[in-house]
A = this chain, B = another copy of it.
């Protein structure tokens, strides 16, 4: 276990009927708020009405800022920043999934900065203050409702980059699993892929001489739970218990818990996927289900021990041969992704294999910024060659 700092102050209010508490919680941070949401699904499933009623009861002045799209874009967040500044907004409330929350975080940081918010994403500036962010989460995938990160795509150059700061971490997040009942099967599956990838990028990093058996066990327990819950959700979308397990597990998978003591966890699979969703606007989870098994195939030689442990502990593989077990882990993971309806090749995700060079060029730029020096255009191309 390497030295680490763990600090996660978000207050989680979890369960049925909890959305009605958002007004009182928000009022602790300001009287005039920006309400950020997406394409209107919250108006169909009743969440919007619940939120507005609670905000009204708390006597809050609300400026609405809808229109966040999946793979949220910088230009839209910049619009939100201008509104927040002009209106004297005191707190930002995100009602939605990761895209909405990440847009809210970007607005919260930008509203307190006197320079281009993109400077934070390319590490030219450090976030030193932000408006308080609160959330009502309606998708279980990104864990953005309980972490310090946000991802935004700059349309100029299709650059999907990220920030990380405690200043933008939500103060309060309300999670009612029953709001997930209406989430369709495809997006429920993509959520599971995202959650699993978050965990496995850390898990594969948990190597000697500092490997932690505790962290391995946490990830394995979470992963089995996510797989089980997803299968139940796909069969019965309004299975409250399965939605609740998924909602809480998705957060624990990427709120710092499973990576504590693992050092700087690099996220090459996420990095390469960012280029897929930036260039082709596919759902993040649908890109990850293509890249993760491909990346594992490329790294099988070096990571056989880790992949073999996954095979044995999660997929019940029994062979004592690490290379064979590692190979079976990749097959089992691919098969499971396919079984829940997630694509496992570039073609299945609608991406032409001829585009590998273009994708690699895009991803290499982010690799530089993230400090993943090994991920040259050539290496990224080699990973993508396994995704065909």
* Residue ranges of A at the interface with B (Cβ–Cβ < 8 Å): 1-18, 177, 210, 212-214, 217-218, 220-222, 224-225, 228, 241, 244-245, 248-249, 252, 257, 260-261
Residue of B3, B12, B228 touching A213 (CB-CB under 8 A):
B228
- What residues on B are CB-neighbors of A217 within 8 Å? 220-222, 224-225
Q: Would you call A16 and B1 a contact (CB within 8 A)? A: no
Chain B residue nearest to A172 (CB atoms) is B7
Asked whether A244 and B220 contact (CB < 8 A) given A3-B15, A15-B4, A213-B225, the answer is no
Q: How many monomers of this chain does the complex have? A: 2
- Distance between Cα atoms of A16 and B177 in the complex (Å): 40
Given contacts A1-B14, A1-B248, 17 further A-B contacts (CB under 8 A): A1-B244, A4-B12, A5-B12, A6-B11, A6-B12, A7-B11, A9-B9, A14-B260, A210-B241, A213-B225, A213-B245, A214-B252, A244-B261, A248-B260, A248-B261, A252-B257, A257-B257
Q: Would you call A222 and B228 a contact (CB within 8 A)? A: no
Q: What are the 9 closest A-B residue pairs judged by CB atoms, nearest first?
A: A3-B15, A217-B221, A9-B9, A7-B11, A1-B244, A6-B12, A214-B225, A221-B221, A4-B14
Q: Would you call A245 and B7 a contact (CB within 8 A)? A: no
Q: Would you call B5 and A11 a contact (CB within 8 A)? A: yes
24 residue pairs A–B, Cβ–Cβ below 8 Å: A1-B14, A1-B177, A2-B15, A3-B14, A3-B16, A4-B12, A4-B15, A5-B11, A5-B12, A6-B14, A7-B9, A7-B10, A212-B245, A213-B225, A213-B228, A213-B245, A214-B221, A214-B222, A214-B245, A217-B220, A217-B222, A217-B225, A218-B218, A248-B261
- Distance between Cα atoms of A13 and B2 in the complex (Å): 11
- What residues on B are CB-neighbors of A14 within 8 Å? 1, 3-6, 260-261
- What residues on B are CB-neighbors of A218 within 8 Å? 218, 221
- What residues on B are CB-neighbors of A222 within 8 Å? 214, 217
- What residues on B are CB-neighbors of A228 within 8 Å? 213
- Distance between Cα atoms of A244 and B261 in the complex (Å): 10
Q: Would you call A1 and B245 a contact (CB within 8 A)? A: yes
- Distance between Cα atoms of A11 and B217 in the complex (Å): 23
Chain B residue nearest to A14 (CB atoms) is B4
Chain B residue nearest to A246 (CB atoms) is B214
- What residues on B are CB-neighbors of A1 within 8 Å? 14-15, 177, 241, 244-245, 248
- Distance between Cα atoms of A87 and B218 in the complex (Å): 45
